[in-house]
Structure 1
Amino acid sequence: MSRRAFPAAILLVVSMIGIVLIGRDTDPAPTPFFSETGGTWMPAVGASGSLTGSWFCPGVPATGEAGVGGSVVVSNRDDAQLVGRYMILTDDGVVADREFSVGPWAQTRIDVDATVPDPTAFASIVVEIDGGGGFVEQIANHPAGNSVAACSNDTSPTWYLADGFTVDGSIDTLVLTNPFDEPVVANLRFSTEERESQPGQFKGFTVLPRTVRTIPIAELGARDEPIIAVSVEATAGRLVVGRAQHYVGGGRLGYDVSLAAPELRDQWWFADGERNDGISETYSIYNPTDDDVEVTVFFGGLPLDAGVEDLDPIVIGPRRVVVFDPYADPTITGPLAGDDAFTPVDGDEAGDDGSGDGEFVDFATAIGEIPLGRHSTVFSTLAQPSIVVERVLTRPAGESVATSVVMGAPPRPDGYVASVWHMGVGPTVATEQALVVYNIDQSDATVTVEAVGPGGPSVVPSLSEIPLAPGSIITIDLVDPDVLGQELIVSSTSRVFVERLLPRGGDLEGRSGSFLLPASN
């Protein structure tokens, strides 16, 4: 097992802790299944606090092609049988509506594409759990790599994505799910390297009741684009938005399906980041508001003598996206924030593709020599929630590369950061450095991994009380047979953020990244 720790600068940790403590009102408890919900956090375990727990998955491919498909895993975290029902939705409407049960401390897997009667681009699943005593994740299967994503506790009228990519024929697809009985009417905007646009055909577009609608980004006129940020804002109703990204060139390879962000935040945290030979690491920061936003970047988990310089706040103009590369030479393409030369393009004036003139993306300056090895990153506005941040990591994979895109994790609006994280989908084969754990506190801690079996959670002896220094990062190998193919619980004596790096599946080398689900209390 690898237990690699990286000491952090104490002053940096103190600064970040101060950021975390900025809080707002606590989330209201969600209401029952298929009703409007009010949660504002990331997908979390035990978040509903109601008679039922509802989970809305971003969608999996169901084309019927070889190697393409998906499933949903329901984990029962209780010593009583779990019962519930699920619906599978496609562009044709509800194609399955079935009851299910899960034994105590067990899991069940719903094979989505096998249940869909006719091939379709994407199918979404909505799961209702009586009593709310479980959690749900999805697995999207593709020849370019499998991808795991948490399902959402809530629907929302707004959804945001900071990073999209269509270079060299890469395919970026929005997956919009309306699980309710009334139509959703929404507006879609996107920002690319050259423009901000609201295409005419996506003003007031409709997602029919209990259906899935897919939108290839190329339909927006955004072809061969290195960066595409998207906002979906419903004027009537609530929905769920996911993104499927198939990278086929432009320095990126792989497949990823994940949730969009349902709300803007003032903080986004990343446990994993790495500087090493052959690794590309960038962060896309999207400001879909009407005002300039100043964003501060902090790096954690670094040696005390790292010598990383403070970075002036990155100023992001209204409805703009910034690509931050920690290692690049300082380069700016496009106007500075607030530059009068930039004019947003309206789809009605520009045509259906929303094409227009002007450059649009800033590439932010580097901050000095970040040492080789792992680091964490946090982006903060120190103001009102106004941004979305995604990380794109491309690492060597055998003779090729593997790209993974991960949305950052926000603290809960009341400032809470979990010390317990749940993982229903883990590796089925021995995997080194499968977990990345970042201690945000300035105190020594220990981390323990439990495997959930028929008798409930039990500590894995080889993964018990792993030392975790103040403000440091460790990676944890999942190679013990007791953890393979099992639901896992990662507990720390401090507040932590936890990401997983799972094998892409099949004969593919490389990893697919995603966050575990935090415990809500």
Structure 2
Amino acid sequence: MSRRAIPALVLVLVGLIGLVIVGRNTPEPETPFFASTGGTWMPAVGTSGALTGSWFCPGVPTSGDGAGGEIVVSNRDAQQIVGRYLVLTEEGVVADESFSVGSWAQRTIDVTSLTSAPFASVVVEIEGGGGLVEQRAIHPLGNSVAACSNDTSANWYVADGYTLEESIETLILTNPFDEPVVASLRFSTEEREAQPGQFGGFTVPPRSVRTIRIADLGARDEPIISVAVEATAGRLVVARAQEYRGGGRFGFDVSLAAPELRDQWWFADGERTDGVTETYSIYNPTDEEVEVTVFFGGLPLASSAVNELDNPIVVPPLRAVIFDPAADRGGGDVVEPEASVPGDGTSDVGDDGEDDGIVDLQPASTELPEGRHATVFSTLAQPSIVVERVLTRPADGSISTSVVLGAPPRPDGFVPNTWHMGIGPTEPTEDALVVYNIDQIEATVTVSVIGPDGPSAVPSLTDVPLASGSIITIDLTDPDVLGRELVVVSTSRVFVERSLPRGNDLPGRSGSWLLPQSV
């Protein structure tokens, strides 16, 4: 195995320091255009002024029995926005309605009242390209919030699927267009790769939804199943609905798959604490072996040697690998740190018995410390991997599992300092936001609430200190922020995750990203 962890880490850090913001191209006035967020990226808030801003929601369960869903459209402007939405199911279009949202207001679309299909997807089009759109999936195993996509893609990838015991993974494929989509599906585990014959070239009808249960493909009782959906004709939207019902996991999640492979994936919220299980699923759908380097951020000085284990993760072609930060970091050669941290504060005594004034130093720890950390996965190869994080935390005598796809920098290298949240907690929630400062500069963070007159900084959440390269959590307990649209602004570049109560009187949290501000 070649050892390239340190060079890879250096390239990651140097590359990030050199990131620059690329200016937007101005379209010809007479040419209609759709809102753009800087190329295929993660769901993001773009600029107003486009002819139409389209949002493609992953899909929500609408079959009843405690399952349902809603779409929240947030107007982040003083001008009213108007648009239309389509509700799509396996039967086709079941609703096609116009709507409007007043200045600095929100509109909730109750999808459950419009259909009783197993799953329904929603397409929202906003004239002028303003606003932002998110969905909330409601389920007896817990609610799940996800952003809607700004674009469709020919290829989609899921890194972490799970069918142990009674757990159920369902793919939700949405074709929002007037022409059929022809696609193929293949899946990988740690041991094998397969392409079921019936999905070597299947069709998703126009303006409809198709669902596929992974267990029906023969992938039962698997701790990890990664999936690639690749269209040979047309473009679509793919999401994963996951019910965790055993094998040490419990919860529910609906979220978008990854529309592209990347060479970097970032996570703001990681935790090593008693009772917490944190794993990462790494999927390599290419035909070449890939070496992946892991970098842990937001650590104290005493843990400065954590990232000096020179032992990359090797992901074979067409395979999935599970990485456990608490268990899979041994076996590498430890590079002795050039700098160390003070030990017990005592001084050395020389041969003559005199105190020579030199303070004893102990080497920095190579063990991942207790508490929170950020995580970055990178590879020197071309964009070739997808990474998802699975966190299972104790929750009042039970457990709560949440899965989150990593966040990539934009293709032009842009990392934002402003993030938007249309769906937040409706009850006081500690540690609701996790903010990771990727820059080596001191910064501050301010949370603003959107009210009738626009954004207004929350006094208790203004100029919150954020040390260089550090992680902080922010409590959302002020009554003024509950159930409201929020904006998080940092003086440095940051990644921001949210951790929301699962609802339905269930303990525990569900994680997801805020929407970054594009420029």
TM-score interval, smaller chain: 0.7 to 0.9
Contact 2:160 2:226 in 1 (8 A): yes
- Name the CA shift for 1:369/1:154 in 2 (closer, same or farther; >3 Å): same
- Name the CA shift for 1:28/1:276 in 2 (closer, same or farther; >3 Å): farther
How far apart, CA to CA, are the structure 1 residues paired with 2:475 and 2:21? 37
Could you say which residue in structure 2 is the equivalent of 1:312?
311
Contact 2:35 2:48 in 1 (8 A): no
Could you say which residue in structure 1 is the equivalent of 2:341?
none
- Name the CA shift for 1:268/1:188 in 2 (closer, same or farther; >3 Å): same
2:214 equivalent to 1:233: no
Quick one: which amino acid aligns to residue 189 of structure 2?
Answer: T
How far apart, CA to CA, are the structure 1 residues paired with 2:58 and 2:23? 25
- Name the CA shift for 1:32/1:189 in 2 (closer, same or farther; >3 Å): farther
The aligned runs of 1:281-360 (5 Å cut-off) are: 281-306=278-303, 307-308=305-306, 309-328=308-327
Could you say which residue in structure 1 is the equivalent of 2:373?
375
Could you say which residue in structure 1 is the equivalent of 2:348?
none
How far apart, CA to CA, are the structure 2 residues paired with 1:518 and 1:258? 16
How far apart, CA to CA, are the structure 1 residues paired with 2:189 and 2:381? 25
How far apart, CA to CA, are the structure 2 residues paired with 1:164 and 1:255? 12
Could you say which residue in structure 1 is the equivalent of 2:277?
280
Contact 1:300 1:471 in 2 (8 A): yes
Could you say which residue in structure 1 is the equivalent of 2:110?
111
Contact 1:267 1:380 in 2 (8 A): yes
Q: Offset at 1:103?
A: 0.3
2:198 equivalent to 1:201: yes
2:156 equivalent to 1:165: no
How far apart, CA to CA, are the structure 2 residues paired with 1:287 and 1:145? 30
The aligned runs of 1:105-504 (5 Å cut-off) are: 105-116=104-115, 119-306=116-303, 307-308=305-306, 309-328=308-327, 368-504=366-502
- Name the CA shift for 1:221/1:201 in 2 (closer, same or farther; >3 Å): same
How far apart, CA to CA, are the structure 2 residues paired with 1:95 and 1:29? 37
Contact 2:36 2:46 in 1 (8 A): no
How far apart, CA to CA, are the structure 1 residues paired with 2:160 and 2:168? 13
Q: Offset at 1:444?
A: 0.2
- Cα RMSD of the aligned pairs, angstroms, is 2.4
TM-score scaled by length of structure 1: 0.87
CA offsets 1:379-405 (integer angstroms, 9 cap, x no match): 111331111000000000001000000
Q: Offset at 1:114?
A: 0.8
CA offsets 1:19-74 (integer angstroms, 9 cap, x no match): 33478998989997999999311100016862110000000001022x21000000
- Return 5+ residue gaps in structure 1 as ranges: 1-10, 333-366
2:13 equivalent to 1:17: yes
Could you say which residue in structure 2 is the equivalent of 1:45?
45
CA offsets 1:400-427 (integer angstroms, 9 cap, x no match): 0000000000000111000000000000
Quick one: which amino acid aligns to residue 328 of structure 1?
Answer: A
- Name the CA shift for 1:37/1:487 in 2 (closer, same or farther; >3 Å): closer
CA offsets 1:161-202 (integer angstroms, 9 cap, x no match): 100000011000000000000000001010023310010000
How far apart, CA to CA, are the structure 1 residues paired with 2:21 and 2:443? 27
2:64 equivalent to 1:64: yes
Q: Offset at 1:377?
A: 0.3
Asked which structure has the greater CA Rg, the reply is 2
Quick one: which amino acid aligns to residue 434 of structure 1?
Answer: A
Contact 2:33 2:50 in 1 (8 A): no
- How many pairs align? 474
CA offsets 1:123-155 (integer angstroms, 9 cap, x no match): 000000000110100000001100000000000
Q: Quick check: 270-279 or 33-42, which moved more?
A: 33-42
Q: Offset at 1:120?
A: 1.2
**SS of residue matched to 2:260:** coil
Higher relative CO (Cα under 8 Å, sequence separation at least 6) belongs to: 1
- Name the CA shift for 1:331/1:187 in 2 (closer, same or farther; >3 Å): farther
Contact 1:16 1:298 in 2 (8 A): no
**SS of residue matched to 1:18:** helix
Could you say which residue in structure 2 is the equivalent of 1:336?
none
Contact 2:21 2:414 in 1 (8 A): no
**SS of residue matched to 2:391:** strand
CA offsets 1:471-493 (integer angstroms, 9 cap, x no match): 00000000001100000000000
- Name the CA shift for 1:442/1:224 in 2 (closer, same or farther; >3 Å): same
Could you say which residue in structure 2 is the equivalent of 1:4?
none
How far apart, CA to CA, are the structure 2 residues paired with 1:315 and 1:115? 47
How far apart, CA to CA, are the structure 2 residues paired with 1:25 and 1:519? 14
How far apart, CA to CA, are the structure 2 residues paired with 1:329 and 1:216? 31
> What percentage of aligned pairs have identical amino acids?
72
Contact 2:38 2:412 in 1 (8 A): no
How far apart, CA to CA, are the structure 2 residues paired with 1:395 and 1:509? 10
2:86 equivalent to 1:87: yes
How far apart, CA to CA, are the structure 1 residues paired with 2:473 and 2:71? 27
CA offsets 1:206-235 (integer angstroms, 9 cap, x no match): 000000000000111001110000000000
The aligned runs of 1:19-38 (5 Å cut-off) are: 19-20=15-16, 21=18
Quick one: which amino acid aligns to residue 389 of structure 2?
Answer: R
TM-score scaled by length of structure 2: 0.87
